[in-house]
Amino acid sequence: MPVDVFPWQTEQWRALLARRDRLPHALLFSGRQGIGKIDFVRKFAQSLACETPAADGAACGNCQSCRWFATNSHPDYREILPEAMRQTESDTAESPGEAEGPAGKRKPSQEIRIDDVRDLQDFIFLTSHQRHGKTIVFYPAETLNVNAANALLKNLEEPPAGTRFMLVSHRPSELPATIHSRCQKIALSTPATEVAAQWLRARGIAEPALSLAQTGNAPLLALSLNDDDFWRQRKALLNGLAQHEPEMLALAEQLRDIHPARLLGWLQRWSYDLLRLRSGGSVRYNPDYQKPLAQIAGRLRAIDLARYHRLLLREQRSVNHPLNARLYLEQLLLGYAAVMRGESVPVAR
């Protein structure tokens, strides 16, 4: 059986396969987290390496090359991930992973570092095992730190023969312009609600609407939320936010085990919903909190909300390596309480 992609990817899959022989040496795949970008890219790389692809260009799933892909051992294929993600890589890990090192050891890096790129040079200059060339995937590409990005840039500027680069990014705007300019861009689409809901129902999710609203229709992310912790923590936070005078320090204590990236995501979606309501739109992410959201939006100043939302978006950059996770959490929540009291938001550090 030739490999296949998620139903919402079919059209882009066919279009890309149709030009598989006319590809540039560097591609940048972007799209919302949790829509299956890395799965798509793996299958595409597998198809390019396949010995006997199907008529439409998709990998056969049977040849030696495809068997190597099935066991993650293809000698001409490499995936470069931040150290922290190497155990749990998927399109749904709160990017990058939440892993913490064992006590006493340094935490695994959340970035793709220059050594990770340097280590590739041997791989790049070795002859390919097969005649279809080599593929190197960077995921998520926005985690390349400055030095690593510069090292990669050298390869993109003087592309080594027989090697193609595929960058996969949830947030391509965080990549340097110099990298952008050397990649051909492919924006992978987010599925329509009904397509995503159908896919989730087939996987046993009886009521997919709320999970999809939470994730902006990202089906893989929605599927990964199918755990009690997520919904319990979300409820604790949103109930707290919905209070007239939220007790933020008590709330921070209650939520101390939440990963900051998860908390920030919830706050971003909450403030986004408030902004939408304030400007006459409807709730997008938290339909189950429609009523308290509408009450809060009605009494806040649009300018304060907009400022707080921008602040939360800026926090995205530091959320994976806060100096002190607890303090970070408290600051996010205290900022919200300040907006609720009609005070101006503390300016970002």
Residues at the interface with Zn ion (CB under 5 A):
50, 59-60, 63, 66
Closest to Zn ion by CB, 23 vs 63, is 63
Is beta strand 77-80 parallel, antiparallel or unpaired with respect to 134-138? parallel
Those residues with Cβ within 8 angstroms of residue 208's Cβ, 6 or more apart along the chain or in another chain = 196, 197, 200, 201, 222
Q: In the numeric block, which tokens belong to residue 336?
A: 């919200």
| Separation of alpha carbons 297 and 305, rounded Å | 9
Minimum distance of Zn ion from residue 75's CB (angstroms): 15
Q: How far is the CB of 51 from Zn ion (least distance, A)?
A: 5
How many Å apart are CA 341 and CA 299, to the nearest integer? 10
The CB-of-230 to Zn ion minimum distance in angstroms stands at: 38
CB of 53 to Zn ion, least distance (A): 6
Which residues are within 8 A (CB) of 146 and not within 5 positions of it... i.e. 6 or more apart? Answer: none
**Strands lying side by side in the sheet with 184-187:** 77-80, 134-138, 163-169, 26-30, 184-187
* Minimal distance, residue 45 CB to Zn ion, in Å: 12
In terms of Cβ atoms closer than 10 Å to its own Cβ (0-12, 13-18, 19+), residue 157 is exposed
> 45 vs 197, which CB is nearer to Zn ion?
45
Q: What is the largest CA-CA distance in the chain?
A: 66
Residue 295 C-beta: closest distance to Zn ion, Å: 58
Nearest-approach distance from CB 50 to Zn ion, in angstroms: 3
Residue whose CB is less far from Zn ion, 50 or 196? 50
Of 48 and 137, the one with the shorter C-beta distance to Zn ion is 48
SS3 per residue for 54-75:
CCCCCCCCCCHHHHHHHCCCCC
Burial (CB count within 10 angstroms: exposed 0-12, middle 13-18, buried 19+), residue 10: exposed
State the nearest-atom distance from the C-beta of 63 to Zn ion, in Å: 3
Task: Specify the residue, 65 or 233, whose C-beta has the smaller distance to Zn ion.
Answer: 65
Nearest-angstrom CA–CA distance, 8 and 313? 28
Q: Which residues contact 281 (CB under 8 A, 6 or more apart)?
A: none
Nearer to Zn ion by Cβ, of 59 and 329: the residue is 59
End-to-end CA distance of the chain: 54
CB of 134 to Zn ion, least distance (A): 16
**Closer CB to Zn ion, 14 or 326, in the complex:** 14
Which lies closer to Zn ion via its Cβ, residue 20 or residue 276? Answer: 20
For residue 163, the cross-strand partners are 134
How deeply is 341 buried, as exposed, middle or buried, from its count of CB atoms within 10 A (0-12, 13-18, 19+)? exposed
Q: Which is nearer to Zn ion, 60 or 210 (CB)?
A: 60
Residue with tokens 């709160």: 94
